[in-house]
Amino acid sequence: MRCVTGAGGGPEKTILNSPRFLARLGYDCACAYLHPPDDPGFDVLRRRADAAEARLVGIPDRGPLDLGVVRRMARLCREERVAVWHGHDYKSNALGLLVRWYWPMKLATTVHGWVQHTRRTPLYYAIDRFCLKRYDEILCVSQDLYDQCLRLGVRPERCHWVHNGIDTEQFTRRQKAAAARRAFSRHVSGQLIGAMGRLSDEKGFDLLIDAVDRLLNEGYDISLWIAGEGAQRASLQKLIDDRGQSSRIQLLGHVEDTQSFYEALDLFALSSRREGLPNVLLEAMALEVPVVATRIAGVPTLVEDGVSGLLVEPGDSVVLAGALRQVLGDAALRDCFAAAARQTIETTFSFERRMRRVAGIYDALLARKPAAAQAAAHHA
């Protein structure tokens, strides 16, 4: 269960991939989304759900005073005989508490991180923290979020660190960078740096633009592609134009073929000021793209500094430029990072491993035997 505007963000990569993995583990799963009526971005989400073989349920939501949402969700839960409600944001968490008055079910939620800072987010995050203490199980995507939930009063036996994962069969490199670039009708000069995410302050794209501008002024033959949409698009484009780098630094907007995007890159950069455990970093590493990333939240659990990528402190474009310079200038280092990154994903961050952990939490919550044990008992 999630509330979304447009095509969503990183959590959708986890949510929409979950049903086909949970089906193997004995769970029928539907992905229910609250969304503004007639939001054209929801069509993108529908296509993504079809591609992931996920059952998508859209619930038009006209805002905080639309109490009909509670009735519609209660009816849906009764019809589907929902055993576990799994929320993914403050609104779906609050809604779960209300719907449980009308249909008995267990409540779980995933904490992806409180990273956006707007005028309203202090209220939203306060609601979320109120809800967390009343949920049966809390899943946190990084160690720092796990620790924060404990500080908020979540009981340790209800709190779990379950990091994000990646489908290693889907995210396997299939083409070289030159071939991948042909999928985009854009000019590329020199080595290509890429970034992807919502165009908002916490992603630090202004810092990345500044870092790449520094390298361009030093004479480096490089280009930068930033994929994604968001409120900062106009200000980021102005920053690019003011630096006179519009031919070298490009905002691509929403990119449907994300795999070709990653495969086109020589280097992936994560410049975020705030994060949980970003799916974009998992995807880049799975596709054997060397990475430079900020040392925040769950990132150090994924990237071993100097082994599978380089880590830098957040908020400093000069330091970021130095790390980019180091990796771009060393082909052998890039190859080592790419191979180590893929191995890390395969051994520790596979999506199948993650979903087995989630299903185990559901099993314990429902006092249910795991699917494999049920099958063995049936054959016996």
What does the pLDDT read at residue 71? 94
Of 369, 333, 341, which is closest to residue 166 (Cα–Cα)? 341
Output the DSSP codes for 204-243: -HHHHHHHHHHHHHTT--EEEEEE---TTHHHHHHHHHHT
What does the pLDDT read at residue 372? 54
Handedness of CA 20, 22, 28, 29 (dihedral sign): negative
Same domain, 295 and 188: yes
Q: How far apart are the C-alpha atoms of 88 and 106, rounded to whole Å?
A: 15
Domain count, the chain: 2
**First and final CA of the chain: distance in angstroms?**
37
Which contacts of 38-43 are long-range, i.e. CB under 8 A and separated by 24 or more positions?
39/5, 39/6, 41/5, 41/6, 41/7, 42/4, 42/6, 42/7
What does the pLDDT read at residue 115? 57
In a domain, 307, yes or no: yes
CATH number of the structural domain spanning residue 65: 3.40.50.2000
Tokens of residue 49, six digits? 């759900």
Q: How far apart are the C-alpha atoms of 164 and 14, rounded to whole Å?
A: 7
| Whole-prediction pTM | 0.80
Same domain, 324 and 223: yes
What does the pLDDT read at residue 379? 43
What does the pLDDT read at residue 378? 44
Same domain, 149 and 51: yes
Q: Which residues contact 228 (CB under 8 A, 6 or more apart)?
A: 196, 197, 198, 199, 203, 252, 253, 254, 255
In a domain, 172, yes or no: no
In a domain, 210, yes or no: yes
CB 114 within 8 A of CB 367: no
Same domain, 124 and 232: no
CB 137 within 8 A of CB 161: no
Split the chain (380 residues) into runs of 10 and give each run's mean pLDDT: 86 92 95 92 91 94 85 96 96 95 97 70 82 95 90 94 91 93 88 96 96 98 96 97 97 92 97 88 96 93 96 97 98 97 94 95 92 50
What does the pLDDT read at residue 5? 87
CA torsion 151-153-155-156 (nearest 10°) is 0
Burial 296-328 (b: 16+ CB within 10 A, else e): bbbbbbbbeeeebbbbbebebbeebbbbbbebb
Same domain, 145 and 231: no
Same domain, 186 and 144: no
Same domain, 332 and 209: yes
Which residue range forms the structural domain that includes residue 20?
Answer: 2-165+350-379
Handedness of CA 347, 298, 132, 21 (dihedral sign): negative
Same domain, 277 and 210: yes
Q: How far apart are the C-alpha atoms of 224 and 13, rounded to whole Å?
A: 24
What does the pLDDT read at residue 11? 87
In a domain, 193, yes or no: yes
Q: Which residues contact 47 (CB under 8 A, 6 or more apart)?
A: none
Q: How far apart are the C-alpha atoms of 308 and 313, rounded to whole Å?
A: 17
